[in-house]
């Protein structure tokens, strides 16, 4: 027997609150430089890559990575090395 709509909404709300209240992002903790850049820079506002998946390039999409790199340079990721690691990490996340 399926759950009533009110129970499904309650479960979704609880899951969302758990995600927002998590210490880190709602993606697997990743000690790689890109994963660390995500945790340190992005996870404060973006709890998972799913919410920004539309903007993530395919790992082989050089033009997409370049666009993301330019955007991130203006959006809280000024460090070139960390930003490059983040772009590659995000592209890898998008391909999974």
Task: Write the pLDDT tens digit of every residue in 9-59.
Answer: 544 434 443 444 333 344 557 789 999 999 988 988 988 888 777 777 788
Q: What is the pLDDT of residues 50-90, one digit of tens each?
A: 877 777 778 888 998 899 899 999 998 888 999 999 999 98
- 3-state secondary structure at position 26: coil
Q: How many CB atoms lie within 10 A of CB 5?
A: 8
Q: Which of 18, 19, 32, 25 is nearest to 82 (CA)?
A: 32
């Amino acid at each position: 027997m399926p759950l009533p709509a009110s129970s499904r909404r309650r479960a979704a709300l609880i899951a969302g609150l758990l995600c927002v209240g998590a210490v880190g992002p709602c993606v697997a903790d990743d000690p790689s430089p890109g994963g660390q850049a995500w945790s340190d820079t992005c996870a404060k506002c973006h709890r998972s890559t799913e919410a920004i998946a539309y903007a993530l390039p395919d790992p082989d999409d050089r033009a997409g990575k370049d666009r993301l790199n330019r955007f991130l340079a203006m959006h809280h990721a000024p460090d070139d090395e960390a930003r490059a690691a983040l772009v590659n990490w995000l592209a890898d996340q998008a391909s999974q």
